[in-house]
Amino acid sequence: MVKTIMIVDDEPDIRQTAKTILEKSGYAVVTAINGDDCLKKVQAGEKPDLILMDIMMPGTPVKEIIPKLKGIKIAYLSVVRTSEAEKKDLMKGENIIDYIQKPFDIKKLVAKVKKIVG
Amino acid sequence: MVNIKSELLTHQIILLAIPSLIYGEQSMKLLETLSGERVVYVTLNKTFQAVEEKLKKQGIDTTNITYIDTISKTIKDVKEKQTKKCYYLESISGLEELSNVIKEFLKQGEFYLIFDSVTDLLIHNNPGRATKFIRETNADIRKTNSRGIYYALSGAITDSLIQHISKNVDKTIRIKSNIGL
């Protein structure tokens, strides 16, 4: 069964590049432009196996969106730098499974996605 | 080699254009050269804790550094508005709040204001708002003896932005990749 990845990022380049590469790797890909758009799509019936979510986007802060996405695996994409303690804290959410620093190597991202969802 | 402290004796407000490959290293190196001086560090791409952690790992004394953190409140729960070490801005696009906070710091005595970075300012705010903020901040700095240093990432995409910002500062210094600070 084809796994679905949702890419949530306000940067169109990131969404498009990640979508293209992940689709070539055999995943179905849905995109969202921010946390609100992501939530809307999930509530409308999208069931991603993994959400790759930018930690800083316009709209409702991601920290407020995450609790509403229970049961869905989420990996943060972060352009901002945090301390090690802050990173550990951000990873405490039960559905948070990874923290990926930007800029990322797209091939490494695909490898991480494969490891998480198969 | 660029001597930032000397440059700031004759140029009150400087724009430092740093190549992205050495940005992390050079942006921290400046703080080493200002060790012991009073610094207010406005961060738009790292949490205050991340900057403190990095500086302490490099053996840089952070006693005299106070932070204005535009990131933390967006990504995690922060109960305080302000501590002895840090003022937490509600959002990275809260430029009016940022402007007011800088004004308050300027009333308290001389310091080096480090703005890290204008590139991030322009990512999160439209160019008109960002330019207005920089002009107004510069006007506030010029009423005092404080010094201002703006960081920017240099590179093909951002160079036109750097040229634009250059019109609002006293000197633009382009750090070369193989020389640095």
pLDDT at B152: 93
* Contact residues, chain A, for B74 at CB < 8 Å: 56, 61-63
How far lies A91's CA from each of A6, A32, B78, B102, in Å?
19, 22, 16, 33
User: What span, in angstroms and rounded, lies between the C-alpha atoms of B140 and B92?
Assistant: 20
- φ, ψ of residue A4 in degrees (nearest 5): -110, 130
- CA-angle at A57, arms to A53 and A63, nearest 5°: 65
pLDDT for the residue B29: 84
For chain A, give the mean pLDDT. Answer: 95
Chain B residue with minimum CA distance to A102: B45
CB atoms near residue B156 (< 10 Å): 6
Contact B74 A84 (CB under 8 A): no
Q: How many CA atoms lie within 13 A of B64 on its CB side?
A: 17
Instruction: List the 57-96 stretch of A: residues with Cβ below 8 A of B.
Output: 58, 61-63, 79-86, 89-90
pLDDT reported for residue B55: 92
Q: What is the pLDDT of residue B127?
A: 86
pLDDT digits (tens, 9 = 90+) for B155-180: 766 787 788 889 999 999 998 865 55
Q: Which two tokens stand for residue A96?
A: 């948070």
Which residues in chain B have Cβ-Cβ distances shorter than 8 Å to A56? 71, 74-75, 92
- B112 SS3 class: strand
- Cα distance between residue A56 and residue B80, in whole Å: 20
**Pair B154, B18: CB distance under 8 Å:** yes
Average pLDDT over residues B19-31: 87
| Of residues A85, A118, A115, the one with CA closest to residue A97 | A115
Confidence check: pLDDT of B140 > 90:
yes
Choose among A80, A85, A89: nearest Cβ to B46: A80
Give the closest-approach CA distance of B76 to chain A in angstroms.
6
DSSP bridge partners of A8:
A32, A53
Q: Tell me what pLDDT residue B35 has.
A: 86
Q: How confident is the model at residue B21 (pLDDT cuts 50, 70, 90)?
A: confident
B163 contacts: CB under 8 Å, gap ≥ 6: none
Residue of B nearest to A93 (CA): B76
User: Which residues does A91 contact at the CB level (< 8 Å), separation at least 6?
Assistant: A98, A99
pLDDT tens sequence across B55-78? 999 899 999 999 999 999 999 999
Locate the chain B residue with the closest alpha carbon to A84: B50
CA distance B90 to chain A (A): 11
Domains in chain B, CATH or no CATH each: 4-174 (3.40.50.300)
Inter-chain touch B75–A55, beta carbons under 8 Å: yes
Q: Which residue has the tokens 């330019």?
A: B131
Q: If you average pLDDT over residues B2-9, what whole number do you get?
A: 90
CA A30 – CA A7 distance, rounded (Å): 6
3-state secondary structure chain A: CCCEEEEECCCHHHHHHHHHHHHHCCCEEEEECCHHHHHHHHHCCCCCCEEEEECCCCCCCHHHHHHHHCCCEEEEEECCECCHHHHHHHCCCCCEEEEEECCCCHHHHHHHHHHHHC
Task: Output the pLDDT for position A53.
Answer: 97
Contacts of B92 in chain A (CB under 8 A): 56
Backbone torsions φ then ψ of B40, nearest 5 degrees: -115, 120
Measured between beta carbons, the chain A residues lying within 8 angstroms of B76 are 63, 86, 89-90
C-beta atoms of A80 and B47 within 8 A = yes
pLDDT one-digit tens code per residue, A43-88? 999 999 999 999 999 999 999 999 999 999 999 999 999 999 999 9
DSSP-derived 3-state class of residue B125: coil
Give the CATH superfamily of A4-117: Response regulator (3.40.50.2300)
